[in-house]
Amino acid sequence: MTQWLKNVARLARKELFSLLRDATLMALIGFAFTLAVYSVAKGIKAEVSNASVAIVDADHSDLSRQLRAAILPPYFKPPVDVDRRGIDAALDRGAYIFALEIPPRFEADVLAGRAPAIQVLVDATAMTQAGLGAAYLQAIFTRETLAFLHARGVETAMPANAVVRVLFNPNMESFWFSSTMQIVVNITVLSIILVGAAVIREREHGTIEHLLVMPVRASEIAAAKILANGFVIFAVSLVSLALVVHGWLGVPLQGSLALFAFSTALYLFSVTALGMWLATLAPAMPQFGLLAVPTYAVAYLLSGAATPVQSMPQAMQPVVKLLPTTQFVSLTQAILFRGAGLDIVWPQLAGVSAAGALFLLLALTRFRSMLAQQD
């Protein structure tokens, strides 16, 4: 066992130096865990932001002006007055996402206890903005109308009032979530690519024959590649979480970083083993890419990072929960967002470990077969 560990350490050192000398891969890793995380966090928003609004005010009353004044940045741009006949053309051109029409005698009808309607036209091609923005506008109009009536001594109230208290992310800013999930995405894709590329590179450069004449076993070669490449991703992911997500973007980290680091190490063991297995199935780099890209895409789409597992078809959910990516996303959200401890996330850790053991077994079996074919 001691000799096995010494051989793995020597081979891992060789793999690490080989990776560090590869300027292209190191630049890719640096970009993925810095500017890519920042650009995704700030460039992709799930909340309403700077939505354009057109308004046709046929009432010109105090209430209509109050409703107009309540449509404020950063959620909406200042409303723009348009002619009623030009609304359809403006929406067709994509000039506005929302078009509001306040009817004549709107304030008088409200004070008389009638139920006048404000027409809201929405460009639904801007899906996120359209869906959430319509709900925002409804809440704004309801709040301002009630305040207007109360100021004039008219007592009215909603049948029920929802009181929401947000424990984490009180302003519900999407980049708190997307920046952390982007690190998970980068860990997955780069772990698969780096280990797979290391195996393919040995084969294409002919250096695999050098390993075959050395007194080392297939398990030692495989373990060295997994350890060296996994260590680089492990280090840069934690640095990115601390400096980019927490330091640069200002996202608070609720839970134990030590527990997250341990979870990341287990997950890296799983996905690097998966990358090695895929590399042993592919004869060359193009074929490896054709295997790795759909594998990563399916793992990401079913992980819960893009769509909650509960929103997926019922028949798919039990299968999805077996994927290590799904388990890692779940425990990452539990640790970093909700401050969960080991007593909460141990089932996910067990699932990641089991998947890693399976992938490692498959990778070693195929790796031994690949080396035997090189003899």
| Percent of the chain predicted with pLDDT > 90 | 33
Section 17-45 average pLDDT: 87
Same-domain check for residues 227 and 307: yes
Section 163-174 average pLDDT: 74
In a domain, 164, yes or no: no
Query: Which range has the top average pLDDT, 75-84, 218-227, 361-370?
Result: 75-84
In the prediction, which pLDDT does 201 show?
Answer: 78
Same-domain check for residues 59 and 39: no
In a domain, 168, yes or no: no
Coil vs helix vs strand at 76: strand
Same-domain check for residues 364 and 284: yes
In a domain, 210, yes or no: yes
Section 336-355 average pLDDT: 91
Look up the domain containing 79 and give its range. 53-151
Count: domains in the chain: 2
Section 70-93 average pLDDT: 89
CATH number at residue 112: 3.40.1710.10
The one-letter amino acid code at 271 reads V
Same-domain check for residues 190 and 113: no
Residue 311 DSSP one-character state: G
Closest listed residue to residue 303, CA positions, set 196, 180, 194: 180
Instruction: Please state, in angstroms and rounded to a whole number, the distance separating the CA atoms of residues 131 and 61.
Output: 28
Specify whether the CB–CB gap between 278 and 198 falls below 8 A.
Answer: no
In the prediction, which pLDDT does 156 show?
Answer: 65
pTM: 0.80
Q: What is the pLDDT of residues 251-292, one digit of tens each?
A: 888 889 999 999 999 999 999 999 888 888 887 888 888 888
Same-domain check for residues 331 and 228: yes
Structure tokens at 180: 């952390």
Mean pLDDT of the chain: 85
In a domain, 233, yes or no: yes
In the prediction, which pLDDT does 209 show?
Answer: 58
Section 101-106 average pLDDT: 92
Same-domain check for residues 349 and 219: yes
Same-domain check for residues 195 and 339: yes
- pLDDT category of residue 198 using cuts at 50, 70 and 90: confident
Same-domain check for residues 39 and 63: no
Specify whether the CB–CB gap between 213 and 167 falls below 8 A.
Answer: no
- pLDDT category of residue 242 using cuts at 50, 70 and 90: very high
Instruction: Please state, in angstroms and rounded to a whole number, the distance separating the CA atoms of residues 323 and 193.
Output: 18
pLDDT at 334 over 60: yes
Specify whether the CB–CB gap between 352 and 303 falls below 8 A.
Answer: no
- pLDDT category of residue 46 using cuts at 50, 70 and 90: confident
Same-domain check for residues 216 and 129: no
Same-domain check for residues 15 and 80: no
In a domain, 23, yes or no: yes
In the prediction, which pLDDT does 174 show?
Answer: 81
In the prediction, which pLDDT does 150 show?
Answer: 84
Same-domain check for residues 23 and 97: no
Same-domain check for residues 181 and 308: yes
